[in-house]
Amino acid sequence: MLERSTGPWALLQRASVYTAVQNLIGGPHLRRYIVERYIRPYPDDRVLDIGCGPADFVPLMPDVDYLGVDHNPDYIEQARSRYGGRARFLHADVCDATAGIDGTFDIILAIGLLHHLSDPQAAALLAAARRRLKAGGRVVTIDPALTTPQHWMARLIIRNDRGRHVRSATEYERLVQPAFSKVVMEVRTDLLRLPYTHVIMQCSA
């Protein structure tokens, strides 16, 4: 992973700060909407969340078999302290998130992850995710994107994201196509309280 981790970005390495910032800009609404419209989990689904962060999606899901993976130990510690009774968490390199994990999954999440990965890293991750999907399963990804035209504030914020591999919508789509035969992509500009552009993809074999 390649990301900005010094100066003001260093604060976001702390789980409490990350969650507070997300909540300030509209994170609770975004998470509820993403779960209801795109993730759509059913009870007993097996869900693998790669780059789960503090696992703020967990309380919005039904009784699923959830496994969250993140490379940040503070995120994993907070996730375990808050949701350890209903989910499992693994501190590991997200670029190799499926190593040592048994079985297949109904839903694999990569929320805010791909823009932290180079093209080769993302391609390897997506290929591994494809191998871990059950028949009929889906991979759901969400990332910031650069578009034309784009609100100046959205472009400024996104260009200064921690992740150094922010792409255009077309580039994200090209990134996932080698691993998945079906990709449904949406570009959204209305999910936060401030101008921002998200690319959301639902990928299946």
Q: Hey, is 105 helix, strand or coil?
A: strand
Q: Is the confidence at residue 120, as pLDDT, over 90?
A: yes
Is pLDDT at 101 greater than 90 in this prediction? no
At 185, which amino acid appears? M
Could you report the per-residue pLDDT of 81-99, keeping only the tens digit for each?
Answer: 999 999 999 999 888 877 7
In the chain the domains, ranked by start, together with CATH numbers, are 8-204 (3.40.50.150)
- Residue 100 pLDDT exceeds 80: no
Residue type, 101: I
What do you get for the CA distance between the two ends of the chain, in Å? 26
> Do the beta carbons of residue 58 and residue 85 sit within 8 Å?
no
| Residue 4: per-residue pLDDT | 61
Closest by Cα among 48, 49, 47 to 63: 47
For residues 14 and 71, the model is more confident at 71
Is the pLDDT reported for residue 1 higher than 60? no
Q: Give the Cα-Cα-Cα angle 167, 13, 91 (nearest 5 degrees).
A: 90
pLDDT mean across residues, the chain: 93
